[in-house]
Amino acid sequence: MITLQDLEKMRLIDPLTVNQDELIDIQDVEINNELPKEDRISDYISQIKNPYLCKCGNLVIQSEFTETDITLNDRLKQLFRMA
């Protein structure tokens, strides 16, 4: 099981210097929408290994999380309205 200390270490990994071969490709991750939310989160973390860094092909993806009720869809809608 991943601890808060483990998560903090993962969050601090520099995406510019990380070995891409150690990252999980997000295209290989499968989300089971039948699972309850908590189980989906746990399953995602077990597959992706580092929830802050992954890759999509040869592109390194860095994620950040905040405590909010605003979803990614909400943010994208807001972004497209501004464009």
Question: 62-68 long-range contacts, Cβ below 8 Å, gap at least 24?
Answer: 62/15
Say what the pTM is. Answer: 0.75
Q: What is the pLDDT averaged over residues 46-67?
A: 94
Domain ranges of the chain: 4-82
CA 12 – CA 6 distance, rounded (Å): 10
Taking only the tens place, the pLDDT of each residue in 7-22 is 999 999 999 999 999 9
Residue 59 parent element (H or E): strand 59-62
CA 74 – CA 78 distance, rounded (Å): 6
CA 40 – CA 52 distance, rounded (Å): 16
Amino acid letter for position 59: L
